[in-house]
Structure 1
């Protein structure tokens, strides 16, 4: 997918109504209050020595950074938003520790499991984010675009 196609997907997700139920769309996943567009997906790394994985991760971060420049021209510089503390809160809650009764809303819980940080804008009542995900070390990288009305926790 080209940069122009990525921007078109982001614009499409921004213009769409949010669904009432969790599910899949032609762009990725969605649910009440959010859309997650899967802009790029890499190959898997089952028999990899790490070199190819590192290059792929760098390539996906470069793709995200390039889109960030274009979106910053529209909406100004993004906020850099780390999901590390959110992930730590989720792990602590799963282990019955501090905040065990805290419920992290979607799409943030899903993102915290695979995306270390986001480039984030708040535009016209919606949060728009770009991130690089890897759901597990054997799984591919993904460049994600997120549009949600749910503020970051």
Structure 2
């Protein structure tokens, strides 16, 4: 997908109603007040010399940079919001609202923009060091905790 297609996906999410109950698919999760969606995924990087992993990281970094610049051009400078303290608070038993709990379990920071009454988020997720990188975006009305 191109950056323009990613922006189109984010615009569709901004206009989409939130479901009353959590809904998950392979590529997305939604719930009361939020939508998160996978925009892109790197290929697996199983090669002997490790160059595939570097190539995958470079690929996702370039796509992430292009996406964050395009959203910045449209909605202004983002906040870079660290999620480390949310993860710690959740591990300590505090209830972290969605989508912030899911975000804190999948990345250490997000780029965050305010677009009218909704927050836009963009981030790169990787569940395990041997998993592909995922370029993700989301829309929420739930303020960061």
TM-score, normalising length: structure 2: 0.90
Deviation, structure 1 residue 11: 0.4
Distance 1:144 1:117, change over 3 A: same
Aligned length: 145
Task: Find the partner of 2:125 among 130, 133, 147.
Answer: 133
Deviation, structure 1 residue 27: 5.7
Once the two structures are superposed, residues 6-37 of structure 1 have per-residue CA deviations (whole angstroms, 9 ceiling, x without a partner) of 11100000111111111136962211110001
Once the two structures are superposed, residues 82-128 of structure 1 have per-residue CA deviations (whole angstroms, 9 ceiling, x without a partner) of 1112122223x1xxxxxx3x200111111111112111001111110
- Secondary structure of residue in 1 paired with 2:53: helix
Q: Does 1:56 align with 2:56?
A: yes
Equivalent in the alignment of 1:65: 65
Equivalent in the alignment of 1:23: 23
Structure 1 stretches of 4+ with a deviation exceeding 6 A read none
State the distance in 1 between where 2:85 and 2:48 align: 30
Stretches of structure 1 that go unaligned for 5 or more consecutive residues are 94-99
Equivalent in the alignment of 2:143: 151
1:133·1:142 contact (CA, 8 Å) conserved in 2?
Answer: yes
Equivalent in the alignment of 1:96: none
Equivalent in the alignment of 1:36: 36
State the distance in 1 between where 2:29 and 2:133 align: 16
Stretches of structure 2 that go unaligned for 5 or more consecutive residues are none
My pick for the range that moved more, 43-52 or 8-17, is 43-52
My pick for the range that moved more, 109-118 or 9-18, is 109-118
State the distance in 2 between where 1:14 and 1:135 align: 26
My pick for the range that moved more, 19-28 or 31-40, is 19-28
State the distance in 2 between where 1:11 and 1:28 align: 15
Distance 1:43 1:26, change over 3 A: closer
Deviation, structure 1 residue 66: 0.9
TM-score, normalising length: structure 1: 0.85
